[in-house]
């Protein structure tokens, strides 16, 4: 049964978690949960509530609803709506969009196939389909017959800004519509549309001692090997989960990272310790194709890896907020910098296109900051 034509039932509730307003997802069955969570990286696991959740600021209700409906979900959000007070309801002017016409829905399916052929990532395609569907429904509401810069500006004002959606979501909308215009071979310029800059936040970084305590608290061999590999190679979770057994080059002491972000292959470090751990793991699990396999020989799921990390963090007694699988990659880069590794080599190991991206680690490196003399001490 394909995800696209499956039928799932999800109930949404809302609550505050770690100081953030969230939507919590209640699944009818564990099987439904496992199938869906692997398709939505934005779903996070709450060890306190024992439920998956998504931050409201990252996924407005209509976007979450649209994405879930596209994979065949029946979404019960009555409890979310009932919790809105009259004051809250008055804050936003709700724009009721009509259902997408059949002709436009078929065009949207063609757009999805076109993006697949362009090899855009699954997450990007899902986002672009969601925001473009909203834009097309807005055009139907306004009885507009063409796509142009003026209608994009009006949609941006009437739908995104008036309803106070995030800067990140606003940029996603514009990028998705531009991609759809490219698909439709419609040429227009959006120079007059001001694109707000997203706030630049520094990454969360663990100390070496904290990384060690997390690995020591991970008792499952597969989980320990995966987390250690993410840190020792500075890998993105998607890169680790699609890594094949043959990508481990033990003779050269390197890991081959295939078709990473930007479709670029690269090599990264393979430590002696991780090689010992990998050999022990291989003897126990004997993976066939993918280094970390789940059911039926498919890649291990993102959600299972995320859950394993959160449990280990909890067992290690680390209370630092915002720790994710990507935190291990940030920590790898920061620790290399603190060890004196040239930032150009770190850029290559991480697979960054621009050195500007790698430079962010100079802002979180303790050693770099400690070596700067405070002018007050010289008075």
Q: Rounded mean pLDDT of 53-61?
A: 79
- pLDDT, position 89: 42
pLDDT of residue 87: 40
Which H or E run includes 14? Answer: strand 8-17
3-state DSSP assignment of residue 250: coil
Continuous H helices in 142-254: 149-155, 167-183, 208-216, 221-233, 237-241
pLDDT, one tens digit per residue, over 117-169 is 998 887 788 889 988 999 999 999 999 988 888 898 889 888 888 877 777 78
Cα distance between residue 311 and residue 315, in whole Å: 6
Question: Catalytic amino acids?
Answer: 236, 261, 326, 329, 352, 361
Predicted TM-score (pTM) of the model is: 0.59
Question: Stretch 310-314: mean pLDDT, rounded?
Answer: 94
Edge to edge, what strands does the sheet with 248-249 contain? 248-249, 254-257, 266-269
Give the containing element (helix H, strand E) for 117: helix 102-117
Q: Give the count of alpha carbons within 13 A of 144, CB side only.
A: 16
Residue 143: φ, ψ to 5°: 55, 35
Q: What letter would DSSP give residue 166?
A: -
Per-chain mean pLDDT for the chain: 83
- Strand 8-17 relative to strand 73-76: parallel, antiparallel, unpaired? parallel
User: 82-129 pLDDT, tens per residue?
Assistant: 555 444 444 445 677 888 888 998 999 999 999 999 988 877 888 899
Give DSSP secondary structure letters for 62-116: HHHHHHHHHTTEEEE-HHHHHT--HHHHHHS----PPPPPHHHHHHHHHHHHHHH
Q: Render 353-364 in DSSP notation, one character per residue.
A: SSHHHHGGGGGT
Averaged over 244-261, what is the pLDDT?
86
Task: Determine how many CB atoms are found less than 10 A away from the CB of residue 254.
Answer: 16
Quick one: average pLDDT of 7-35?
79
Could you tell me the CA-to-CA distances from 292 to 116, 240, 245, 280, 302 in Å, in that order? Answer: 25, 8, 8, 13, 11
pLDDT band at 192; cut points 50, 70, 90: low
| pLDDT exceeds cutoff 90 at 193 | no
Can you list the alpha helix ranges (DSSP code H) found in 201-352? 208-216, 221-233, 237-241, 272-285, 302-315, 325-338, 343-350
Strongest mean pLDDT among 39-48, 62-71, 299-308 = 299-308
Confidence of residue 200 (pLDDT cuts 50, 70, 90): low
User: CA-CA distance, 348 to 358, in Å (whole number)?
Assistant: 10
Q: Name the band, by pLDDT with cuts 50, 70 and 90, for residue 6.
A: very low
pLDDT of residue 262: 59
């Amino acid at each position: 049964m394909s995800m696209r034509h499956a039928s799932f039932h999800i109930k949404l509730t809302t609550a505050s978690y770690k100081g953030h307003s969230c939507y919590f997802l209640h699944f009818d069955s564990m099987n439904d949960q496992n199938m869906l969570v692997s398709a939505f990286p934005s779903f996070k696991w709450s060890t306190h509530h024992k439920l998956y959740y998504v931050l409201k600021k990252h996924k407005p209700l209509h976007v979450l609803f649209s994405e879930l409906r596209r994979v065949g979900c029946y979404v019960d959000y009555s409890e979310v709506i009932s919790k809105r007070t009259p004051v809250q309801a008055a804050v936003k002017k709700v724009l009721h969009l009509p259902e997408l016409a059949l002709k436009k829905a078929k065009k949207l399916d063609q757009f999805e196939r076109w993006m697949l052929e362009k090899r855009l990532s699954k997450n990007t395609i899902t986002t672009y389909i969601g925001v473009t569907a909203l834009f097309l429904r807005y055009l139907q509401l306004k009885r507009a017959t063409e796509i142009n810069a003026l209608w994009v500006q009006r949609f941006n004002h009437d739908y995104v800004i008036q309803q106070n959606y995030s800067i990140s979501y606003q940029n996603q909308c514009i990028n998705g519509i531009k991609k759809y215009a490219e698909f439709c071979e419609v040429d227009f310029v959006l120079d007059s549309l001001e694109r707000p800059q997203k706030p630049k936040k520094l990454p969360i970084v663990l100390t070496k001692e904290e990384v060690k305590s997390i690995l020591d608290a991970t008792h499952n061999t597969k989980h320990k090997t995966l987390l250690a590999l993410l840190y020792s190679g500075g890998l993105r979770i998607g890169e680790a989960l699609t890594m094949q057994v043959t990508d481990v080059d033990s003779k050269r002491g390197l890991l081959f990272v295939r078709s990473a972000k930007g479709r670029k292959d690269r090599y990264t470090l393979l430590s002696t310790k991780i090689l010992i751990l990998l050999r022990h793991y291989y003897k126990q699990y004997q993976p066939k194709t993918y280094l970390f396999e789940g059911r039926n020989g498919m890649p291990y799921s993102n959600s299972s890896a995320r859950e394993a990390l959160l449990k280990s963090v909890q067992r290690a007694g680390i209370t630092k907020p915002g720790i994710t699988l990507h935190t291990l990659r940030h920590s790898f880069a920061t620790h290399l910098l603190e060890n004196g590794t040239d930032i150009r080599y770190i850029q290559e190991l991480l697979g960054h296109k621009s050195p500007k991206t790698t430079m962010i680690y100079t802002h979180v490196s303790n050693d770099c900051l400690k070596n700067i003399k405070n002018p007050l001490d010289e008075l």
